[in-house]
Structure 1
């Protein structure tokens, strides 16, 4: 197709209508329009200049009706007043969409298996593009680092509004940091990602659209944190601030008039005392108060907002003030509503997918389910994609077990080495993963950073039952009664309680590993539990062995130290050594003192996050950290293998993802606000 370029004079002679509508370009067909500064998106003025057009805006025709479902929202203002003066223009993958429909999804339970759903509507200051390499604007219009990565300045969008129409400004970022993350009444201990080597940052707001993060030491990974993490760097001061005593002198009395104990109780009801973004709203936690509350849930900048929240599931509607538009000026999201149903039984989840009742699912789907999903995809009207995982299933023995004798055994390096080499990973790969995986040791980073010796990936992974038996004999675990299983040195039975959740690890993997351990005389009982049951037991130091997927890319580690500091992950991941964590958090006044290598790891991660990535120091630190993690076999890796994800064929602009993993926050790089549903 030939394309003709007109001079400015010729353009001026064209009728105004000819210049009004911007071209319906897509990633698949850019129609000759040059790419912007960032992949697959433009700032408004940038797009109008590139496309030679003046954008006209249009909204979802059902916006009034949808807004009416949002408890506490005022009447809808005009679209021109709802979107920012500088909206973010998204280029659809395959087609400009149409409005309407309900996205149907599954989660395991409240706060369990929900990141699939959260990531679809998620926003943060920035995000990774779908190449998983390039950080691009989102809520923030732009950013700038100073020369030594000790000051990060964000520019926000003028005219941006919360889902209730109130202005979103730099004050909301400061409120999030100073009054929520740094308030010990809400977070007893600051999260690592809001500190630099344990020291707090300071934030400034020179004007309504500018936020400056001042860091006590370099931390270039802070930007990647905002691009990948579920915790959003802003909260609605105009709403939550009503309940905060530092913002409102009458916060407690106002909260009490609504039935809360005080202002902090109201904040925790709406926002939670966790940074997880799907803490149940008062619609669930205070059902008797709903009619008297000013809002059912706190305002959001996400593409959709909760309007119903029960123990069976949740329902959301499109945010009428969302900050994105497509290339023709249609306000995103296209999909009007979202419906989430809680199904904790894996077989029931699979049945609903096979029956075509689910529009998208990745989380909690394991490779073992791929055959049934592939067999039924035509009948169910969906497509199955097998995608690589960043993480892999890993096991960790409770080295701070409340049973002193088990603690001593699990804390013995020879025991952990024995349990690692007792696993036949090649067979596990063939039987549990259809030969599609790669046997590996856990090294703390995934993938392996360049410069780290590749041999660490296979450290203590060669199957060696004789070597495992020899180590177990050496540490006094004998079969004294001849029943084929070993006892503790005291003669008491040694039986591992292997509680697992399919959200975190495949049941077949657990069963096979349990058999390998039985083959060297270590008995166990395998039991599937819910994610909530598993996490509760793990956090209260009740597990013999933790087991969940584990691993993070270097980009995330540079902004978040959680894999390297006891308990070696957050509440939702694979944690271990809870009493080491207690010792660290208490300054040594409680818990159990960790060994020297753990203290060195903590020093190493702080140094790594401030180091120049091109420096010899950085390379030495990554190698040292991997060496300490692998040699101590604190977490035992298994097989890195792909996993299935599905989407219904009626869901358009769903693109191929690079990974199945949570680490880049699932669908967040893939711009789910542009998904649309065929009638």
Structure 2
């Protein structure tokens, strides 16, 4: 394998020196071969001065030879300066897994549709203040150079990198972190309701700028899990103030005038077009889809710190090029990413997506890829020159819920009866689900909220109401007055009205075979069902508008994430992209009781307990008691009904190098983020 040459620009440990003489090369350290260089403070990566000290060398730098051409395709970017003016003076030095890579190529990705099944691809270019290393235990620096907590976890300080720049060459500083928090995350004109992770015990934090490279989060109560949020979330803790702030009427009195001159109603409309009024970083790019209007603005998309930046975005897919100002280098001094371009195609039909994988038209895929596709993919591995790994999942793929605030009074009364939910749980033959949908590879489990279960969880909850008991389910349904009154073989509601459970599912969230088997089990106890596949957008729309009878999507989070994010425990029990129920309970909570439906006491207890749990020192008796009660209230009330915990497939072409076997298949750790996709390269 041909290694990249290193030449040109030399940084000494104490400063930037540009000279004509070539410095001694540093050893090309990889995870596979440390070349005698000791590990740094954090695994698989170093800060520059740390690496040079440990390796007793001075690192020289080189960049992608096509960087200028790639930069010219980013509308609004200035002419590309020298590499010395693009890489931070404190870059993150990354040890590749197997070898120093080579530049070039296009990474081909496959998603379902705009904002549907796209997080897998988004994670390959994602950055945040910190991330989890691939052990899924150790938080390591990413955008931030380092961080520190005070003694009681009420103050979190991030230290940023000197010389770090946005993709348009503007400086990235602590002001960009403060701007994100004060002017976007807490701005009701931009995001209607603050997300749970920007609050602590329901109260806002304050963000203070100490200097250009130091920013402090001051918390109203302890929340040690905040660092895990930044390590796993798609929501980035920074936005470019220099770019967005000029259109923000709260910062610039001329924002509306500027916007109107560009053909927009006001500055907020420009912000909406750029930022998407969301914390989700994968929203469509309206300006790319209306180039005539975009021509009046300085650029098509918001500058990024990610490895690649979008240059085209249509209903068929999008195309990206490497960020010429990216802040990572490898141990030979080569600026990352190695891969020059990324191309994403949208295909909503599951069968067509699988065929494209069989034909090796995609470099990597995990999201929306169910176990049912594995036999066909395995049969064609050698021919297609790709690999399929089966890895443990964090979230359970087959989780069901009933619409506890259904607009239909008869359904709401039945769905809200714990006897009905228990009947529907024990009506499921999980052994059959495992054999039919998971090839016998899964384990029957109840949904308990935490995945995997921490030590404070009583083991009984994992098996609560999972025994297959067809007769017991029928008896419970009889007990609540659901009987067959018209002789068609299916039960009616206690009020005599006919009930048909409309089981709409999207393959992005659940394997269709699980839905079909469970639907038949429920029909076997006399509850009529219909099963229909819909697009993720259709499913989410119905869920958001309180129209679903049955929710079904993967669900579950590890302890570390729950310590920073309470959404699984507060109505509607997840965000727009996840598995939700009790939409009118959520409305009641959000409106302080002014509208919606008041939730039962156990739900109010969940809300109180998760906030207290996040602010209590983990491992103490108080923390364990709170965690145990969270699990009991969630499980005993069967808000969500689990089926089988099974592994998930992860696909990659063998030409994609520095790709390692993932520890888990998990959205919860943000898919590829722990595995450093910026050091992947294509060898073909």
TM-score, length-normalised on structure 2?
A: 0.96
Distance 1:341 1:289 in 2: 25
Shift of 1:340: 0.3
2:106 aligns with: 102
Distance 2:265 2:346 in 1: 30
Shift of 1:52: 1.1
Which piece of structure 1 moves more, 432-441 or 480-489? Answer: 480-489
2:665 aligns with: 660
Of the three residues 393, 413, 421, the one matched with 1:389 is 393
Of the three residues 169, 176, 179, the one matched with 1:172 is 176
2:438 aligns with: 433
Of the three residues 351, 360, 379, the one matched with 1:356 is 360
Shift of 1:256: 1.8
Distance 1:412 1:202 in 2: 43
Distance 2:267 2:610 in 1: 37
Please list, as runs of the form range in 1=range in 2, the aligned pairs for 1:564-579 lying within 5 A after superposition. Answer: 564-579=569-584
Shift of 1:259: 2.1
SS of equivalent to 1:457: helix
1:402 aligns with: 407
CA contact (8 A) 1:170 1:208 kept: yes
1:141 aligns with: 145
Of the three residues 281, 286, 301, the one matched with 1:282 is 286
CA contact (8 A) 2:288 2:301 kept: no
Distance 2:441 2:59 in 1: 48
Shift of 1:593: 0.1
- Give the 3 Å change call, closer, same or farther, for CA 410–284 of structure 1 in structure 2: farther
Shift of 1:228: 0.2
Distance 1:523 1:366 in 2: 26
Shift of 1:493: 1.1
2:243 aligns with: 239
Q: Is residue 591 of structure 1 aligned with residue 596 of structure 2?
A: yes
Distance 1:281 1:427 in 2: 44
Of the three residues 49, 53, 59, the one matched with 2:57 is 53
2:219 aligns with: 215
Distance 1:251 1:308 in 2: 26
1:192-248 Cα distance to aligned partner (Å, 9 max, x none) = 100001100001001000000000000000000000000000000011111101211
1:676 aligns with: 681
Shift of 1:286: 3.5
2:383 aligns with: 379
Runs (4+) of structure 1 exceeding 3 A deviation are: 16-19, 283-288
Distance 1:103 1:373 in 2: 20
Please list, as runs of the form range in 1=range in 2, the aligned pairs for 1:207-356 lying within 5 A after superposition. Answer: 207-284=211-288, 286-356=290-360
Distance 1:248 1:379 in 2: 59
Q: Is residue 543 of structure 1 aligned with residue 565 of structure 2?
A: no
1:553 aligns with: 558
Structure 1: give runs of 5+ residues left out of the alignment. Answer: 1-15
Shift of 1:285: 5.1
Distance 1:226 1:370 in 2: 33
Of the three residues 129, 136, 143, the one matched with 2:133 is 129
SS of equivalent to 1:270: helix
Distance 2:666 2:536 in 1: 18
1:642-677 Cα distance to aligned partner (Å, 9 max, x none) = 111111010000011001110000000000000000
SS of equivalent to 1:597: helix
SS of equivalent to 2:60: coil
1:63 aligns with: 67
1:118-153 Cα distance to aligned partner (Å, 9 max, x none) = 100000000000000000001000100000000000
Distance 1:541 1:153 in 2: 41
Structure 2: give runs of 5+ residues left out of the alignment. Answer: 1-19
Number of corresponding residues:
664
Shift of 1:23: 1.0
1:502-543 Cα distance to aligned partner (Å, 9 max, x none) = 000000000000000000000011000000000010000010
Distance 1:256 1:434 in 2: 60
Distance 1:67 1:649 in 2: 29
1:607 aligns with: 612
Distance 1:572 1:548 in 2: 10
1:392-423 Cα distance to aligned partner (Å, 9 max, x none) = 12100001000111100100000000000000
CA contact (8 A) 1:283 1:310 kept: no
Of the three residues 463, 467, 471, the one matched with 1:458 is 463
Distance 1:256 1:378 in 2: 58
Shift of 1:433: 0.4
2:587 aligns with: 582
CA contact (8 A) 1:283 1:308 kept: no
Distance 1:357 1:372 in 2: 15
2:10 aligns with: none
Distance 1:442 1:191 in 2: 24
Of the three residues 21, 36, 45, the one matched with 1:32 is 36
Please list, as runs of the form range in 1=range in 2, the aligned pairs for 1:524-539 lying within 5 A after superposition. Answer: 524-539=529-544
CA contact (8 A) 1:43 1:88 kept: yes
CA contact (8 A) 1:366 1:643 kept: yes
Shift of 1:284: 4.3
SS of equivalent to 2:124: helix
Distance 2:542 2:261 in 1: 37
Please list, as runs of the form range in 1=range in 2, the aligned pairs for 1:630-645 lying within 5 A after superposition. Answer: 630-645=635-650
Which piece of structure 1 moves more, 110-119 or 257-266? Answer: 257-266
Distance 1:282 1:517 in 2: 44
Q: Is residue 84 of structure 1 aligned with residue 94 of structure 2?
A: no
Shift of 1:288: 3.4
Q: Is residue 503 of structure 1 aligned with residue 508 of structure 2?
A: yes
TM-score, length-normalised on structure 1?
A: 0.97
SS of equivalent to 1:509: helix
CA contact (8 A) 1:366 1:644 kept: yes
Distance 1:91 1:257 in 2: 49
1:544-595 Cα distance to aligned partner (Å, 9 max, x none) = 0110000000100000000000000000000000000000001101000000
CA contact (8 A) 2:289 2:314 kept: no
CA contact (8 A) 1:284 1:311 kept: no
Shift of 1:614: 2.2
- CA RMSD, Structure 1 to Structure 2 (Å): 1.0
1:616-637 Cα distance to aligned partner (Å, 9 max, x none) = 0011111111000000001000
Shift of 1:455: 1.0
Shift of 1:293: 2.4
Which piece of structure 1 moves more, 257-266 or 171-180? Answer: 257-266
SS of equivalent to 1:384: strand
CA contact (8 A) 2:274 2:287 kept: no
CA contact (8 A) 2:289 2:313 kept: no
